[in-house]
Amino acid sequence: MKGPLIREILFWAVLILAADSYLGFNVVNSFLRYYAYEVNTVVGVTYVPDLHFPAVTICNYNQVRKSTASPIVLSLSNALYGIGAQYGGESINWTIYEEYLGSNSSARDEFVNTVGYLAHQLNDTVFECKWRGVEPCDASNFTTSLTDWGVCWTFNDPKNKSEILKINQPGRQNGLFLRMDVQQHEYVSGESSAAGFKVLLHPQGVRPVLKELGFSISPGFETSVTVTYTKVVNKPPPYTDCRQVDLNPLKYSDSYTVPLCQQECRVDYVVDKCGCRDYRYPGDAPYCSPKELVECIYIYEAKFVEEEIKCDCTESCSSESYGARTSIAYFPNEHVMSQITAIFNQSEDFIRKNYLDLRIFFEELSFNSVKQIEAYPSTSLISDIGGTMGLMVGMSLLTVVEVFDFHLIWIWKRFCKSKQH
C-alpha cells in the first residue's frame, strides 16, 4: 500500500506545484502588464446639430505698403530682401538706418507701433464678405493682431466666447465667403517673393502660427476650403507623456499647442543669444534693430534648426484642431470678368493679378474624436487573477478570506490562550 500511496502523494504534489507555479507566473505577468500603462486609441466620428466655426486668420504676403513706407524703409527692404540680397548685410550702410529705425529701444518701439499703419488695411483688402451665404460681414467681425507673419486679421475670434459664430448647415453656401484684393501695386521687397494671402484655421483664443501651419491662396483663383474638426483626448501620466497644461502652461500664451510651444522655445533660444527679439515674436525682451536682426537673429534662427535644438513640447492631454482641404478653380470666368472690370474700372490683367475668392465651409456637421483608453484596466487585472485562481487551484476571493480567517483564529488560539494559562 505504501508504493501506491507515495505515487498518489507525488502525483498530487507535482500537480499542485505546477498549478501554483502557473498561478504565480500569471499573477506576476498581470501586474507587469498593468503597470506598463499601455493604451488603446479609439477613433470615431460624431454627428452633431451644430459646430463652432473656426477662427480664420488671414495675412497678406506683403507686410509694408509702398504708399505708406518712407524712402528709408523702402531702401532698407531692398537692401535686405531685394534680388541678390542674402541677409548678409555686408554691403549695407547701417548708419542711416540705425538713426531712423532704432539706435535706441524707444525708437524701435515707436516704429513697431506704426507697423499696423504700414501694413495693408482690411477695408482696402476685403471687398465682399458674406456669412452663411446671405448675412453680410464687415470689419467688426475681424480682429487685428501681430503674428509671426506680421499684421493679420482674424474672423470669428471674439473676446466673449458666447459670441463665437456657429454653423448648423453644411455646404459651401453655409460658410464664409470673401472676395479680396492682394494689392500687388503696393508690394515691396520682403521675406517672400510670392503674392497672395496666408490663411490659418484655428480654435478661438489660440495665437496663430502662420509660418508653419498656414496655407496659401493665390490671386486669379477661387479657393474652396473644406473644414474638418478634431478633438483629441490623451491619457494623462503615467499612461503617456502628454502635457497637463494647467500644471505646465506656456509663458507667452494662455493656450497650449505644440507649435506654440516650439515657437516659444525658438524665441527663448534666439533671445538668449542676441539679447533682443524680432518684433513679430512674443515675449518681453526688447525689440531688435535691423542690424541685430541681420547679424544675430537670422543667424541663430538658422542655427536653431541646424543644431536640432530639443524642446520640451509634448502633445497636450486634450486638444482641438481644424483641418483644411483646399481645391482651386480659375477666377473669374469670362462672364464675371466683364462685370468685375466694369465695377472696379480695372483691366482684365489687373483683376487676374490681384483679385481672388475664398470659400470656407464644413462638408458635414461632424467631428473626429481620437481618445486614448486604458489597454489593461484594473477590472481586467482582477478578472485575470481571479480566473486563474479559480481554474488552477479552485480559489475565490471568499476562499482567500477564509484561509486568512482560519490562520488568524489558529494564531489567536495558539498564542493568546497559552499566555492566559
| Distance from C-alpha of 123 to C-alpha of 262, rounded to nearest angstrom | 34
Q: Between these two residues, 174 and 405, which has the higher pLDDT value?
A: 174
| Distance from C-alpha of 419 to C-alpha of 231, rounded to nearest angstrom | 68
Q: Beta strand 221-233 with 318-330: parallel, antiparallel or unpaired?
A: antiparallel
Residue 226 near residue 324 (C-beta atoms within 8 A)? yes
Burial of 159 (0-12, 13-18, 19+ CB in 10 A): exposed
Q: Beta strand 366-374 with 221-233: parallel, antiparallel or unpaired?
A: parallel
Average pLDDT over the chain, rounded to an integer: 87
Q: Between these two residues, 83 and 37, which has the higher pLDDT value?
A: 37
Residue 79 near residue 58 (C-beta atoms within 8 A)? no
Mean pLDDT, to the nearest integer, of 364-370?
94
Helices and strands: H and E segment counts in the chain: 15, 15
The one-letter amino acid code at 266 reads R
User: What are 343-366's pLDDT values in tens digits?
Assistant: 878 889 999 999 999 999 999 999
Q: 47 φ, ψ to 5°? A: -95, 135
The pLDDT, as a whole number, for residue 123 is 92
> Global pTM?
0.86
Cell of 232: 483629441
Cell of 369: 474624436
User: What are 316-341's pLDDT values in tens digits?
Assistant: 999 999 999 999 999 988 888 888 88
* CA-to-CA dists, residue 418 to 45, 305, 404, 408, 415, angstroms: 71, 79, 21, 15, 5
Residue 177 near residue 65 (C-beta atoms within 8 A)? no
Mean pLDDT, to the nearest integer, of 243-248?
80
Burial of 217 (0-12, 13-18, 19+ CB in 10 A): buried
